[in-house]
Amino acid sequence: MLEIRDLHVRFHNRDREAVGGISLTIGNGEIVGLVGESGSGKTVTAMSIAGLLPRKQCSYSGDILLNGQDLLHAQRSELRKLHGREIGVVFQEPMSAMDPLMKVGEQVSEVLRIHTDLNASERRKKALKALTEVELQDPEAVYDSYPHELSGGMLQRAMIAAAIVIEPSLLLLDEPTTALDVTIQAQILELLKKLNREYEVSMLFISHNLKVVRKLCTRVAVMQRGLLVETGETDQVFYHPQHPYTRHLIEAIPTRERRTS
């Protein structure tokens, strides 16, 4: 599905490589957690996949293939067709991820306007279906609301609806639950699992919250200082961490029963 091969990224104004040669594969329907502390390169990795690298300000090499199509070196114009169609993105901060002056529903259906030939009423129907899919209470009302009228949890659901409305093959989730309180967090995780089952959409879940990663992901990749220090099945990594840094991270989880074994 998504294959990252030996990705290097270095910003011109830094000495150290932000990403120092990582390889990672995400299979169909897999949820891969990418964890690591701030500055470990997980966001840069996601940016490379999403085509958000400021290309003029960094040098990069390697390959990122989505279903065989090159993402890293492709022309911007080609990327524009591919992104949105194949990759949905959910950001950390739902409040800032929505245009404050556009109705939520219109933002959900915006991607359809660009990538499909559907007319306005068909787009509205699909958007409403997506809003229902993310378990929003009153999809019709949400469709016609502005972002400031919704709570953070509702907005994040709407963002997820916007990301899945076109049924992409990959979802990039950049700390989508960090800004939410714990109850809502759990609900969103359940929702993501459900979507993963129903749409068979693969997900790359970026987080520094190991608890969340353990609940959701099938595989985990741990990054430190631009390198992938450990990859494996979630249970494998959590119960038998190989790398000292991973062990360190897991020990830092504030739980009653520490699973460091």
Partner 1 sequence: MKRKINGYLIAGLIITGIILIAIIVGMFWTPYSPTAMKYGRFQPPSSSHIFGTDNFGRDIFSRVLKGAGTTFSIALSTVVVGALAGTLIGAVTGYFGGLADDILMRLNDAVTAFPSFLLALLVVSLIGPGKKYSVVISLGLVFIPSFARVMRTQYASLRNQNYVTGARLMGVGNARLLFVHLLPNTLRVFLPAFTIGFNNAVLAEASMSFLGIGVTPPDASLGYMLSEAQGMLAAGPWYALFTGLTIVFLVFGVGLIGEGIQMQNREVD
Applying CB under 8 A, the residues found at the interface with partner 1 are 50-52, 80-85, 87, 89, 91, 93, 96-102, 107, 110-111, 114-115, 148-149, 162
Pick the closer one to partner 1 by CB: 100 or 254. 100
Please give the structure tokens belonging to residue 60.
């990069």
Per-state percent for the chain, helix, strand, coil, to nearest 5: 40, 25, 35
Pick the closer one to partner 1 by CB: 14 or 76. 76
Minimum distance from CB of 107 to partner 1 (Å)?
A: 8
Query: How far is residue 23's CA from residue 34's CA, in Å, rounded to a whole number?
Result: 12
Minimum distance from CB of 113 to partner 1 (Å)?
A: 9
Instruction: Return the beta strands (E) in 133-251 as ranges.
Output: 170-174, 202-207, 219-224, 227-233
Pick the closer one to partner 1 by CB: 146 or 199. 146
Residues whose CB is less than 8 angstroms from the CB of residue 152 and which lie 6 or more positions away in sequence, other chains included: 94, 95, 179, 180, 184
> Do 8 and 20 form a contact (C-beta atoms < 8 A)?
yes
> Do 213 and 28 form a contact (C-beta atoms < 8 A)?
no
Pick the closer one to partner 1 by CB: 26 or 150. 150
Minimum distance from CB of 85 to partner 1 (Å)?
A: 7
Phi (first) and psi of residue 25, to 5 degrees: -120, 135
Pick the closer one to partner 1 by CB: 7 or 87. 87
Q: Rg of the chain's alpha carbons, rounded to an integer? A: 18
> Do 98 and 120 form a contact (C-beta atoms < 8 A)?
no
Pick the closer one to partner 1 by CB: 25 or 145. 145
Minimum distance from CB of 217 to partner 1 (Å)?
A: 22
Minimum distance from CB of 154 to partner 1 (Å)?
A: 15
Minimum distance from CB of 24 to partner 1 (Å)?
A: 20
